[in-house]
A and B are shown apart, each in its own frame.
Chain A
């Protein structure tokens, strides 16, 4: 035990006058009583000749000596060192992605962060970075716990995926040159491969609580129908056991139908349902009467919109699946000889592409892509998280006979088999392009239930999102605003709160929560000038609730003192002292006199 003020231990010397007081004969108060007969046996030996008496070791004396020692030790301020996660400057990187909503992970992470903020001394700086789809700094270089706690209060679980790499870049940007900076990652680990590991000068506090979870992993349109809207619904069971759930379908809040799912552990089930809903209406799929570890992914919403027609031409070898796709997707139609809006290059030559194009395993790749080899039976290992085109689509069952190995600098891999990209996103001659390195005819993609969705989304993206049957996007995607000139916007969030935006606002970014966002436009006089609905969906990859330990390395320049917390024993010693004083009082006066006063004998009637 070490002391902050060891000089105070000298107060133990107060024990000497106490002992002297005990040895001095006390001057007793004289009290007259009718008789001392009843006090016989209580006499104390008192020497009349000497001012001193033999020291008698009594319980009271021992307790008083103990109290003096306790006070001296208390004033000496004993302390011990406790290893802490905090350093001279700690950046708390808090993961608020959808998976952190599983089994209260984010709640536990925030509690841990609050405890750390409370433990931080005035010499320790604390910053807070929220790792979500769009990482942000919530507090920087705070010396007091209040701003840190206020920043932590602003973090709520959302339906987005985390951008740990972006969050770590932000955290590195907060590094202070004059003191070591430690990154403390409070996360369930995110998705492997999204950050470079080991993360230097960092610690990872993992939150990996699990629980049974059933999620709506896909909910969208894009399947043709006549007169009614047909919806694609996928429900997945991430529990360890089988689950039976009912997905209710709601149109503008009114239930119009339901679908029952019996799901084995780890099973996904897809259904195509038809609802009587049209443009401008909000449709929701809700797992009714169901509670699980992650409530955010138990529903999914979308808003139907009309969109505009998009013309598509299929060139090259041409697959009947692709022609059927173009004819079946609402809002799309074959160009019929006219210049198309979007080109599908199925095999053939892709060197000359003068418009947005979906290029599938061309014989001649477009400029910027070089075929370096072929890979047989590639197995999909990566789907880019948060990518709208792939949102909710599970390509793990996709079987491919062979794919080109391409070198495509500047292209973004959306799907990979190991390090070999299978689907890429990029530009050809300044036009949007999606590149498949495999022939869909030599895969089972056309017979997958996800194919129409994937195809519709690819074409929709290539066409500039003009055809979208829904104004739905993953949570975290900003909502574009188009207020009238000089007007303003008001956005009502899924939880019912309303946010008023100024005339300059053209986007609304606080869309981490999945659900319906209602936008109300106001003109310059404050009168309503139109409205719009937008839906944001929980990113399905977060529903699995996977957790992993992020590999980190500590900053070796940290000294023991910098990585430990100084804690004083004062509260415990104070408690012991109070106990001693209570014991002393009890010894001196017997039991506590809280009892009712006993009636005198003979006083009873």
Chain B
């Protein structure tokens, strides 16, 4: 079970929000980029033959002598896509389990909010589409949870390709990216995600990555790329590493904000869900 009952009960008292207009396929409760049939007045325009005469503003017609019809806001669903990074770099400590639980938390929150949600994984290099199921109702939760639990980190992934796929897909909802961003080109991927949809980046890193406790002469082996780096773990070297990691997370945060994405650094520890949820609420992603 990815979510314990207490957390699910808390999530059921929240709902996802959207700070910008979006364009959905189906009607919903979020302000759309198009005009529609809601009760919220949007604008006037001149009457054209064929327009619904029930929208003619007779008061203006009598006062100004111009036939204008009232236009209203449309309300669409929020088609949310939760993209989980399944690269080998996520297979370290509790990172991938944390990513699964974070994705589950956001998915459950979307389903409770009545949104259409899709779970997908970052594709391997060369792929042209995201793979994962869509769901719209809370009754689909067991199926999505099972799908999430069956994910395993393996091989390499291509964040840039995933962002390009998302940018070109017809669905115009926000993206939730759950990844450690430990790939070259992560900056481009974030730019594309933000330009396409907006959303949240849940940056998952393990405590050992943030503050390593290593000594001696070591050969570090990248579990994803298999690249090896000989390093003498002096105190200065570890300090420089910490400094680089801080710069990395600061740069990711800054870049996300610049392209309209929310950024949450999720350290893979036991309290990560509580902490992340609190930050999402504070950031206005949920309320």
Please determine whether A36 and B215 come into contact, CB atoms closer than 8 angstroms.
no
Q: Contacts A31-B220, A42-B231, A590-B235 given; indicate if A597 touches B211 (C-beta within 8 A).
A: yes
CB neighbours (8 Å) of A57 from chain B are none
Binds A, one of B3-11, B56-64, B87-95, B117-125: B87-95
Which residues of B218-240 are within 8 A (CB) of A?
A: 218-225, 227-232, 234-240
Q: Which among B90, B214, B264, B265 is the interface contact of A34 at CB below 8 angstroms?
A: B90
In the complex, B207 has a CB within 8 A of chain A = yes
Please determine whether B220 and A34 come into contact, CB atoms closer than 8 angstroms.
no
Q: State the CA gap A602–B275 with chains docked (Å).
A: 9
| Distance from A491 Cβ to chain B, minimum over Cβ atoms (Å) | 72
Q: Contacts A602-B249, A602-B265 given; indicate if A43 touches B221 (C-beta within 8 A).
A: no
Please determine whether B230 and A600 come into contact, CB atoms closer than 8 angstroms.
no
Please determine whether B219 and A31 come into contact, CB atoms closer than 8 angstroms.
yes
Q: State the CA gap A43–B220 with chains docked (Å).
A: 10
Question: Which residue of chain B has its CB nearest to the CB of A39?
Answer: B229
Q: State the CA gap A42–B227 with chains docked (Å).
A: 14
Please determine whether B211 and A598 come into contact, CB atoms closer than 8 angstroms.
yes
In the complex, B66 has a CB within 8 A of chain A = no
Binary CB contact string for chain B from 2 to 28 against chain A (1 if under 8 A, 0 otherwise): 000000000000000000000000000
In the complex, B244 has a CB within 8 A of chain A = yes
Binary CB contact string for chain A from 416 to 458 against chain B (1 if under 8 A, 0 otherwise): 0000000000000000000000000000000000000000000
Question: Which residue of chain B has its CB nearest to the CB of A26?
Answer: B217
CB neighbours (8 Å) of A1 from chain B are none
Q: Which among A29, A588, A600 is the interface contact of B218 at CB below 8 angstroms?
A: A29
In the complex, B165 has a CB within 8 A of chain A = no
Q: Which among A34, A39, A41, A587 is the interface contact of B224 at CB below 8 angstroms?
A: A34
Which residues of A1-50 are within 8 A (CB) of B?
A: 26, 28-44, 46
Main DSSP-derived SS at the B contact region: mixed
Q: State the CA gap A37–B236 with chains docked (Å).
A: 18
Q: Which among B92, B241, B265 is the interface contact of A601 at CB below 8 angstroms?
A: B265
| Distance from A57 Cβ to chain B, minimum over Cβ atoms (Å) | 15
Please determine whether A601 and B239 come into contact, CB atoms closer than 8 angstroms.
no
CB neighbours (8 Å) of A44 from chain B are 230-232
In the complex, B182 has a CB within 8 A of chain A = yes
| Distance from B102 Cβ to chain A, minimum over Cβ atoms (Å) | 12
| Distance from A587 Cβ to chain B, minimum over Cβ atoms (Å) | 8
Q: State the CA gap A42–B232 with chains docked (Å).
A: 8
CB neighbours (8 Å) of A602 from chain B are 203, 205, 210, 249, 264-267, 275
Q: State the CA gap A601–B249 with chains docked (Å).
A: 9
Q: State the CA gap A35–B220 with chains docked (Å).
A: 9
In the complex, A603 has a CB within 8 A of chain B = yes
In the complex, A557 has a CB within 8 A of chain B = no
Question: Which residue of chain B has its CB nearest to the CB of A605?
Answer: B275
Number of A residues with CB within 8 Å of any CB on chain B: 31
In the complex, B269 has a CB within 8 A of chain A = yes
Q: Which among A29, A32, A42 is the interface contact of B241 at CB below 8 angstroms?
A: A42
Binary CB contact string for chain B from 248 to 267 against chain A (1 if under 8 A, 0 otherwise): 11000000000000001111
Please determine whether B235 and A603 come into contact, CB atoms closer than 8 angstroms.
no
Please determine whether A36 and B249 come into contact, CB atoms closer than 8 angstroms.
no
Please determine whether B182 and A35 come into contact, CB atoms closer than 8 angstroms.
yes
In the complex, A591 has a CB within 8 A of chain B = yes
In the complex, B245 has a CB within 8 A of chain A = yes
In the complex, B246 has a CB within 8 A of chain A = yes
Q: State the CA gap A590–B242 with chains docked (Å).
A: 14
CB neighbours (8 Å) of B40 from chain A are none
Q: State the CA gap A589–B233 with chains docked (Å).
A: 8
CB neighbours (8 Å) of A590 from chain B are 234-236, 238-239
Residue from A44, A589, A590, A603 whose CB has the most chain B CB atoms within 10 Å:
A603
In the complex, B206 has a CB within 8 A of chain A = yes
Please determine whether A33 and B92 come into contact, CB atoms closer than 8 angstroms.
yes
In the complex, B29 has a CB within 8 A of chain A = no
Q: Which among B90, B217, B240, B264 is the interface contact of A29 at CB below 8 angstroms?
A: B217
Q: State the CA gap A33–B93 with chains docked (Å).
A: 10
Please determine whether A33 and B267 come into contact, CB atoms closer than 8 angstroms.
no
Q: Contacts A601-B210, A602-B266 given; indicate if A42 touches B240 (C-beta within 8 A).
A: yes
Q: Which among B203, B207, B230 is the interface contact of A43 at CB below 8 angstroms?
A: B230
Please determine whether A601 and B219 come into contact, CB atoms closer than 8 angstroms.
no
Please determine whether A28 and B218 come into contact, CB atoms closer than 8 angstroms.
yes
Please determine whether A591 and B223 come into contact, CB atoms closer than 8 angstroms.
no
Binary CB contact string for chain A from 439 to 481 against chain B (1 if under 8 A, 0 otherwise): 0000000000000000000000000000000000000000000
Please determine whether A34 and B209 come into contact, CB atoms closer than 8 angstroms.
yes
In the complex, B216 has a CB within 8 A of chain A = yes
Q: Which among B228, B239, B248, B278 is the interface contact of A605 at CB below 8 angstroms?
A: B278
Q: State the CA gap A31–B228 with chains docked (Å).
A: 9
In the complex, B158 has a CB within 8 A of chain A = no
Please determine whether A39 and B234 come into contact, CB atoms closer than 8 angstroms.
no
Q: State the CA gap A603–B232 with chains docked (Å).
A: 28
Please determine whether A34 and B234 come into contact, CB atoms closer than 8 angstroms.
no
Q: State the CA gap A454–B207 with chains docked (Å).
A: 99
| Distance from A35 Cβ to chain B, minimum over Cβ atoms (Å) | 4
CB neighbours (8 Å) of B211 from chain A are 597-598, 600
CB neighbours (8 Å) of B207 from chain A are 600, 603
Please determine whether B221 and A31 come into contact, CB atoms closer than 8 angstroms.
yes
In the complex, B180 has a CB within 8 A of chain A = yes
Q: State the CA gap A37–B229 with chains docked (Å).
A: 10
Q: Which among B89, B215, B229 is the interface contact of A42 at CB below 8 angstroms?
A: B229
CB neighbours (8 Å) of A37 from chain B are 182, 184
Q: Which among B217, B236, B240 is the interface contact of A28 at CB below 8 angstroms?
A: B217
Q: State the CA gap A589–B235 with chains docked (Å).
A: 5
CB neighbours (8 Å) of B265 from chain A are 601-602
Q: State the CA gap A562–B234 with chains docked (Å).
A: 54
| Distance from B98 Cβ to chain A, minimum over Cβ atoms (Å) | 12
CB neighbours (8 Å) of A31 from chain B are 214, 218-221
Q: State the CA gap A28–B229 with chains docked (Å).
A: 11
CB neighbours (8 Å) of A29 from chain B are 216-219
Q: State the CA gap A373–B168 with chains docked (Å).
A: 143
CB pairs A–B below 8 angstroms (25 shown): A28-B217, A30-B228, A31-B214, A31-B218, A32-B222, A33-B92, A33-B222, A34-B90, A34-B209, A36-B221, A36-B225, A36-B229, A38-B182, A38-B248, A39-B220, A42-B229, A43-B229, A43-B231, A591-B235, A600-B207, A600-B210, A601-B210, A601-B265, A602-B203, A603-B207
The 6 closest A-B pairs by CB, nearest first: A590-B235, A602-B265, A35-B182, A34-B92, A34-B89, A600-B210
Question: In the complex, given contacts A37-B182, A603-B207, what are 20 additional A-B residue pairs having Cβ atoms less than 8 angstroms apart?
Answer: A28-B230, A30-B219, A31-B214, A31-B219, A34-B91, A34-B180, A34-B206, A34-B222, A35-B224, A37-B184, A38-B182, A38-B248, A41-B244, A42-B229, A43-B231, A598-B211, A600-B269, A601-B246, A601-B267, A602-B205
Residues of B near any A CB (own CB < 8 A): 89-92, 95, 180, 182, 184, 203, 205-207, 209-211, 214-225, 227-232, 234-241, 244-246, 248-249, 264-267, 269, 271, 275, 278
